[in-house]
Amino acid sequence: MNDSCVYLVGAGPGDPDLLTIKALRLIENADVIVYDRLVSDEIINLIPAGVAKIFVGKETGRHSLPQDDINKLLVNLAQVNETKGHRYIVRLKGGDPFIFGRGGEEAIVLARHGIKFEIVPGITSAMACAAYAGIPLTHRGLADGVHFITGHRRADLELEIDQGALRDKNCTLAVYMGLGNLQTIINAVLDAGRPSSTPVAVIEQGTTSQQRHLITELSNLMMDISDADISPPAMVVIGEVVSLAKILDWFQPVMEEDLQQSTA
């Protein structure tokens, strides 16, 4: 009897302290871990010695392993584990598996092959990165809702944005993976009627020791990102709540050189 299980686990945005207790327990007891590019080194370092690690990282325009092959890999691992008696196959994903994490696609494939699986939610990047930059995604009087928007489409197809999601000025826009199509996103937000002075935050490497963030306006966003040399992974937050960052910014990343000095 096959009692192995594939766990689709959200690793959160990078800070290992944001892992759920269940996620950490599965990482510590896994037989094999299949992980993404967005899983931080600090979390990878929690994997015990001897656990097989398989990197399947993806970024726009460059895939270590195409999604269809990742799906096949998970199925093959579960079938191999049936003969070896292994139990824990952990598919570790940055953020949350079901929010732009393609966890649903992988779970469907597992279900169709009769493979037992569990979903372990993680803290999604929009929530955590915004919080670590001092930005509440909703705030009374500024935003009564939030839209999660993807900044790119599968197979790098042309980006299409629902204007209806952009028009409500009382909703914050949280854009995942948006740097590659940023000008298109800016144009869409402006065309939807939001003013060019709308505050914007771009949070690079959010919640990690490498976190940087830029606060600007829609009209200056492209120039300011270029000047700051912001690169992926980065979360873009658009809306009046960004103005609270100047009051609520609390996170001071501890850089590696600072740690070395403190332990010297």
Output DSSP code: residue 114: T
Under a CB-based contact definition with an 8 Å cutoff, are residues 37 and 44 in contact?
no
Under a CB-based contact definition with an 8 Å cutoff, are residues 171 and 162 in contact?
no
Beta bridge partners of 259: none
Rounded to whole angstroms, the Cα distance separating 218 from 53 reads: 41
Element (H, E) at 55: strand 52-55
Annotated catalytic residue, options 15, 36, 93, 96: 36
Rounded to whole angstroms, the Cα distance separating 18 from 10 reads: 10
For the chain, helix (H) and strand (E) counts, in that order, are 10, 12
Is 58 noted as a catalytic residue in this protein?
yes
Q: Where do we find the tokens 């930005």?
A: 135
Annotated catalytic residue, options 22, 31, 58, 72: 58
The amino acid occupying position 25 is: R
Catalytic residue numbers?
36, 58
